[in-house]
Structure 1
Amino acid sequence: MRAFIVKSYGKKEKLQLTELPEPALKENEVLVQIYSAGVNLLDSLIRNGDFKLFLPYKPPFITGHDMAGVVSKVGAKVSKYKIGDEVFSRVGDHRIGTFAEHIAVSEGDLALKPKSLTMDEAASIPLVGLTAWQALVEIGNIKKGQKVFIQAGSGGVGTFAIQLAKHLGAYVATTTSAANADWVKKLGADLVIDYKTQDFETLLKDYDLVIHSNRDAKILEKSFHILKAGGQLISLVGPPTPEFAAEIGLPWYLKLVTKLLSSGAKKKAKKANATFRFLFMRAEGNQLSKITALIEAGVIKPVIDKLFAFEQTNDALAYVESGRAKGKVVIKVK
């Protein structure tokens, strides 16, 4: 099969197209022929080596986290899926590799593809959908009437999170450029802040939840200032915390590293009488099935900015890294 591999870590390294054997299948796994693969900033960060302390992939390896496709084989202990099923997934950590023609996926990480979506649309959903779900539902426990600030509303996570937060009954504020203001309002945003000319800290107060996705330390500090007492800040970009380290079973010395890295954010949270949580979303087929139900009900619609051919995978990554994408970028594998 054809696949794009990370031959060596580095920001200037390009993925290399190569021929590899079809993946071996474990008894609890499903072999999927990939039709479309979603592209995420995480794919670039993995290639760059930014997460190798926590996710020590050894080059060469195939990267890519999102996919939609058709089941071509099933393991001996698989009961939920059969050959020919159309499925989608944010595949599990340590089992990534969606920038390829085939992938072996744990049965628990899969869900049936929404029938109303194309393969391209389905591939755009899993990582951003699960991120939004785990932030707003699982951790945030957002209720009707609460206030949520979602940074970068026109991005992949932002476009999905706005729709989900509105479905949950929240009042939603977000940041984007003036050119995208009307567009994110149509997605459900109640208040749109032009990040180029306005300061969200002066416009927002007493928010229940901030979904933080900006690596600027000043933005993190300002985000604590707009929270109400008892509010939550869930960061998608770090710093990682000891709680995260414990969740993924890191050794004691890496738990110590995360304690040092997150100490500043924890102090700011304590001063604001708020909580700080780092979310590194996980693969979860059951949650993806719940998202499918919302999509089939017309509550949430996929937002795709651009499609790339499989051979243009490096171009797709570069486009995502540019920060210009409105919604998701997808690679057509088949």
Structure 2
Amino acid sequence: MRRIQYDTYGGPETMRLEEFQLPAPANGEVTVTVRAMSVNPIDWKLRQGELKMMTGRSFPRAMGSDFSGIVSAVGPGVTRFEVGDEVFGIARLKESGAFAEAVVTLESYLAVKPAELSFEQAAALPTGAVMAWNGLVERARLRSGQRVFVVGATGGVGEAVVQVARMLGARVAGSTGAASVERARDLAVEPVFDYARTDLEKKDDLRGAFDVVFDTSGALPVKTAMRMLKKGGVFLDINAGPAKFLHAALIRRHKIFFCKPTTQILADAARAAVGGHLRMSIGETVPFESAIDLITGLEKGRKIPGKGLIVVDSRP
């Protein structure tokens, strides 16, 4: 059995596709034979050691968050899934492990994959959909008719945030790169700004205009975000650093959070996808053997029009 792993924190040169021994699922855990996986920035940020205070210094370490596949074993206490179920979900943050031929994760981090979705479509959903729900529903308590500004509106998380916000009845504005402006408009983002050509700090018409500002890329200065909020508005931030944590501790409207999946959120995302309300763009699909090249390119800034997908050959 193979997975992408690394023996020290560092850049893309540390990644190796190697054999490994997968442990049996413990209490509340499920083993999934992986059919497809998608790439998120958190995958290489963990490998770079950005959260090593949490992930520790035990090596080799696995990589990968989002995946879909078929349940191959269940641990004691698992009640929602059986061997043979088609599922999708997220690997545990500390252990990771989705970039593999099989992964063990928590039962609560999985949901049944609807027959209407391919393994690739399902693997593209988890982190974006969960982050959108964690932020818009659980923290901002977004209501119909409110206004949302999404920084990085066509990125892996931003695309989901836009669609979930609209599904909840919000009006969405946002920013993205020049090459993706039309794609943002196709998602009904209006107005949409080219971040390279627009200084949002100088846009007086955006002052106090939004109930929610959701920065998915980490590119928006905190001062600018707070300026854009209406009275009582919320700044949602998924790219934290020490200065931001300090600001959020002092200003409750600045909410920093991490991905917290549940079966219910994933199941709701799947229903939305089947209903045509939540579809993640797939920019490029590669076989497992080419995964390191894809991850390396994305990490170094290569742009693709959607999620990077990795598929595992299911033939015996």
TM-score of the pair, normalised by structure 2: 0.92
Tell whether the 8 Å contact from 1:114 to 1:295 is kept in structure 2 after alignment. no
CA-CA distance at 1:17 after TM superposition: 1.2
Tell whether the 8 Å contact from 2:90 to 2:98 is kept in structure 1 after alignment. no
Whole-angstrom CA distance in 1 between matches of 2:104 and 2:179: 41
1:292 is matched with which residue? Answer: 270
2:85 is matched with which residue? Answer: 85
Tell whether the 8 Å contact from 1:37 to 1:123 is kept in structure 2 after alignment. yes
One-letter identity of the residue aligned with 2:230: K
2:145 is matched with which residue? Answer: 145
Structure 2 vs 1, CA of residues 297 and 215 (structure 1 numbering), >3 Å: closer, same or farther? closer
Q: Is 1:232 equivalent to 2:234 in the alignment?
A: yes
1:244-263 equivalences under 5 Å are 262-263=245-246
One-letter identity of the residue aligned with 1:281: C
Which segment is superposed worse, 227-236 or 12-21? 12-21
1:157 is matched with which residue? Answer: 157
> RMSD between aligned alpha carbons?
1.8
Unaligned stretches of 5+ in structure 1? 240-257
1:251 is matched with which residue? Answer: none
Q: Is 1:307 equivalent to 2:309 in the alignment?
A: no
CA-CA distance at 1:137 after TM superposition: 1.0
1:331 is matched with which residue? Answer: 310
Q: Is 1:125 equivalent to 2:125 in the alignment?
A: yes
SS at match of 1:37: strand
SS at match of 1:156: coil
1:246 is matched with which residue? Answer: none
CA-CA distance at 1:55 after TM superposition: 2.8
Whole-angstrom CA distance in 2 between matches of 1:197 and 1:129: 29
Whole-angstrom CA distance in 2 between matches of 1:179 and 1:9: 33
1:114 is matched with which residue? Answer: 114
Whole-angstrom CA distance in 1 between matches of 2:302 and 2:214: 18
Whole-angstrom CA distance in 2 between matches of 1:126 and 1:226: 29
1:221 to 217, 220, 223: 223
1:211 is matched with which residue? Answer: 214
Q: Is 1:278 equivalent to 2:260 in the alignment?
A: no
| CA deviation string 1:18-63 (max 9, x = no partner) | 1112332213222110011111100110110011123325221111
Whole-angstrom CA distance in 1 between matches of 2:302 and 2:257: 21
Which segment is superposed worse, 306-315 or 42-51? 306-315
Whole-angstrom CA distance in 2 between matches of 1:226 and 1:30: 44
CA-CA distance at 1:324 after TM superposition: 1.6
SS at match of 2:47: helix
Which segment is superposed worse, 204-213 or 143-152? 204-213
CA-CA distance at 1:323 after TM superposition: 5.5
Between Structure 1 and Structure 2, how many residues are aligned?
309
CA-CA distance at 1:105 after TM superposition: 1.8
| CA deviation string 1:195-250 (max 9, x = no partner) | 1222223041321111113445x6222111111111111111013xxxxxxxxxxx
Identity, % of aligned positions: 30
Tell whether the 8 Å contact from 1:35 to 1:69 is kept in structure 2 after alignment. yes
CA-CA distance at 1:264 after TM superposition: 4.1
Structure 2 vs 1, CA of residues 120 and 98 (structure 1 numbering), >3 Å: closer, same or farther? same
Whole-angstrom CA distance in 2 between matches of 1:12 and 1:165: 34
Whole-angstrom CA distance in 2 between matches of 1:179 and 1:32: 37
Structure 2 vs 1, CA of residues 209 and 323 (structure 1 numbering), >3 Å: closer, same or farther? farther
CA-CA distance at 1:166 after TM superposition: 0.7
2:189 is matched with which residue? Answer: 189
SS at match of 2:55: coil
Unaligned stretches of 5+ in structure 2? none
